[in-house]
């Protein structure tokens, strides 16, 4: 499983925010591998992306693409506040 993450927006409104990561989940150590697989499950990302935004100035937007072993890709656009803090920590850690 490959996870690609790009962020844009925020206080500056920039298209480039310095965050662009590609994570090969299968190459990670076992505990992290499990955490990543759980956090970036496509159905879970789809559910999170439907959560309401309300009033959220200056937040970043994440474009996340998950590609499985069969090379089938699904892409999601999520606002920063739609991602749980644990998932954001995982993104920062990778």
Partner 1 sequence: MARKLLKQNEKVREERAEMTDIGAPHHELSPAALNRIAAQGESKLKPDRQIHDGQYKAALPGKLIRSEGDTETGIADADTAYDAAGQVFSLFADEYGRNSLDDDGMPLVATVHHRRNYNNAFWDGKQMAYGTGDGKLFRTFLELSVVGHEMAHGVIQYSGGLLYENQSGALNESIADVFGSLTLQRGLALEAHEADWLVGRGILGPDINGAALRSMKAPGTAYSDDLLGQDPQPWHMDHFVVTTDDNGGVHINSGIPNHAFYLFATYLGGKAWEIPGRIWYHALQSLNNPMASFSDWADQTIKSANELTGNGSSEAVMLRRAWKLVGIAI
| Contact set with partner 1 (CB under 8 A) | 8-19, 53-60, 81, 85-86, 88-89, 92-93
Beta strands in the chain (DSSP E): 2-9, 20-24, 60-67, 73-79
13: left (phi over 0), alpha (psi -120 to 50) or beta: left
Give the nearest residue (CB) to Zn ion: 58
Closest to partner 1 by CB, 53 or 70: 53
Tally the residues of the chain. Answer: 94
Beta carbon of residue 65, minimum distance to partner 1 (angstroms, whole number):
18
Segment contacting Zn ion (CB under 5 A): 15-23, 40-48, 56-64, 70-78?
Answer: 56-64
CA dist., res. 62 & res. 80, Å (int): 7
* Chain positions contacting Zn ion, by CB under 5 A: 57-58
């Amino acid at each position: 499983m490959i996870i690609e993450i790009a962020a844009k927006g925020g206080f500056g409104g920039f298209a480039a925010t310095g965050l662009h990561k590609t994570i090969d989940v299968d190459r990670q150590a076992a505990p992290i591998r499990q955490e990543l697989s759980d956090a970036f499950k496509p159905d879970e990302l789809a559910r999170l992306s439907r959560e309401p935004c309300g009033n959220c100035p200056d937040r970043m937007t994440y474009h996340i693409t998950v590609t499985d072993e069969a090379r089938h890709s699904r892409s999601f656009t999520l606002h920063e506040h739609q991602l749980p803090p644990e998932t954001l920590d995982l993104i920062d850690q990778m």
